[in-house]
Amino acid sequence: MDKREFLKRTLVLGTGMAVAPQMLSAVQRIDTPSSRGGEFVQPALGYAFDALEPYVDRQTMELHYGKHHAGYTRKFNAALSSEGIGKQDINSIFKKTSSYSSAIRNNGGGFYNHNLYWKFMSPDGGGEAKGKIGKAIKARFGSFGAFKQQFASVAGSQFGSGWGWLIVNKDGELEVTSTPNQDNPLMDVSDVRGIPVLNIDVWEHAYYLNYQNQRSKYIEAYWNLIDWKFVDALYSAAIS
Ligand code: MN3
């Protein structure tokens, strides 16, 4: 895949156009400002705060979604407004992250990364990856177990706060990477760029109440929650 094709596909995903119909509304809510004054709106969670127990506890979800994510959303909109950045899909903003303030970078990333994160988890999730993403993982990493090991290792060793990612890179291949703080692989400031198909929040606020300092136990628990259908929809859109 050449660079122009990659950017075209990134844009397609950014506007949600190439995603399976049943996933379209979810992805649109994630990527585009709503019509309510052009502000980005925090998407509904889609399950109860205690629905992910015992893997992610109710209090963590209440604080994480209700305080942290709500705060990123509010501050992102405030920064867009005060800096006079007009209505556009979020990928267009991320492509120019280097030319914007740290408020846009941190809160825009915080808004978007969590939108995905809530969707990657489901009370009905877990098990092995199926569909196109299942085949691609086996082809790229050798086995589902080998992929899990690499993902856990990269996310686990991200120094300080940040995110672990599975992305489709510029060559159209799956790649495991991590980003510091609220950065993501769509941002032009990211060392490794690509289209996200899975992430995990490894900030302490994501796991400290239940797992204290044991990030690896939280990552291990995450496999019980992953909604592979949503991952497969993002992957299919990224390569189509
Ligand atoms: Mn978080």
Q: pLDDT tens digit string along 134-154?
A: 999 999 999 999 999 999 999
Please tell me the predicted confidence (pLDDT) of residue 227.
97
**Apex 205 CA angle, 74 and 109, nearest 5:** 40
Whichever domain contains 228, its CATH number is 3.55.40.20
Q: How many domains does the chain have?
A: 1
- 112 alpha carbon – ligand 1 mean position (Å): 11
Helix axes 102-120, 228-239, angle to 10 degrees: 120
DSSP 66: I
Centre of ligand 1 from the C-alpha of residue 17, in Å? 27
Q: Which of 154, 169, 153, 203 has the alpha carbon at shortest distance from 183?
A: 203
Domain with 207 in it: 1-240
* Mean pLDDT of each 10-residue bin along the chain, 240 residues long: 47 39 46 68 94 98 98 96 90 95 98 96 97 98 98 97 97 97 97 96 97 97 97 94
Q: Are strands 162-168 and 195-201 parallel, antiparallel or unpaired?
A: antiparallel
Q: What is the crossing angle of helices 215-222 and 144-157, to 10°?
A: 150
Centre of ligand 1 from the C-alpha of residue 60, in Å? 10
Q: What is the dihedral of CA 122, 231, 134, 149, to 10 degrees?
A: -70
* Residues whose beta carbons lie less than 5 angstroms from ion ligand 1: 201, 203
As given in the structure block, the two tokens for residue 186 are 């769509």
> What proportion of the chain, given as a percentage, has pLDDT over 70?
85
What pLDDT is stored for residue 32 in this prediction? 61
Q: Specify the DSSP class assigned to residue 172.
A: S
Instruction: Return contacts of 162-165, CB within 8 angstroms, 24+ apart.
Output: 162/202, 162/203, 163/113, 163/199, 163/200, 163/201, 163/202, 164/199, 164/200, 164/202, 164/219, 165/194, 165/196, 165/198, 165/199
In this prediction, residue 187 carries a pLDDT of 97
Q: Specify whether the CB–CB gap between 19 and 233 falls below 8 A.
A: yes
Confidence (pLDDT) at 88: 86
Question: What angle (nearest 5°) sits at the alpha carbon of residue 106, between those of residues 126 and 204?
Answer: 50
What does the pLDDT read at residue 15? 35
Dist. CA 139 → ligand 1 center (Å): 31
Ligand 1 center to 3 CA (angstroms): 31
CA of residue 34 to ligand 1 center, whole Å: 22
- The whole-model pTM stands at 0.88
Query: Which of the 8 DSSP states describes residue 67?
Result: I
pLDDT number for residue 6: 47
CA dihedral 103, 107, 113, 115 (to 10 degrees): -150
| CA–CA distances in Å: residue 186 to residues 8, 52, 164, 197, 229 | 13, 28, 13, 11, 22
User: What is the Å distance from ligand 1's center to 68 Cα?
Assistant: 7
